[in-house]
Amino acid sequence: MKLEIILASFKSDLRSFGRSRATLFWTLLFPVMLILIFGAIFSGVADSEYDLTVRDFDNSEMSEQLLEIFNETGLINIKIVTFSEDTDILDYIKNEDLSRLLVIPEGYEQIIFQSSFSDATTNLSFYYDQSEQTTNQVVQSVISNIIQSMNMNMSGGKNIIIIDNIETISGEFSFVDFFIPGMIGFTIMQTCIYGSLERNTKLRKDGILRKLLTTPITRTEWILSKMLFQLFLSFISAFLIIFIGIVVYGLNVHINILMILLVVGTSFLFTGMGMLIGRFVKDEESAGMAGGVITFPMMFLAGTFFPLEQMPEILQTVAYILPLYYINEGFRDAMVYLKTGDAIFYTTIVLIFAVVFFIAGLFFTKWDED
- Across the range 130-139, mean pLDDT stands at 72
Looking at residue 46, its pLDDT comes to 47
How high is the pLDDT of residue 281?
72
Quote the pLDDT of residue 12.
63
CA distances 315 to 42, 67, 175, 322, Å, are: 11, 28, 22, 11
Structural domains of the chain ordered from first start: 50-167 (3.40.1710.10), 175-369 (no CATH)
Question: What angle separates helix 257-278 from helix 340-364, to the nearest 10 degrees?
Answer: 30
Q: For residue range 17-56, what is the model confidence (pLDDT) as tens digits?
A: 566 555 555 455 655 655 565 555 555 544 567 788 999 9
| CA gap 104, 107 in Å, rounded | 9
pLDDT digits (tens, 9 = 90+) for 315-349: 888 889 999 999 999 999 999 888 888 899 999 99
On the question of pLDDT at 274 being above 60, the answer is yes
Q: Answer with the residue of higher pLDDT: 307 or 335.
A: 335
Across 79-83, 175-179, 337-341, which has the greatest mean pLDDT?
A: 79-83
Residue 126 pLDDT level (bands cut at 50, 70, 90)? very high
pLDDT at 6 over 60: no
For residue 344, the model assigns a pLDDT of 95
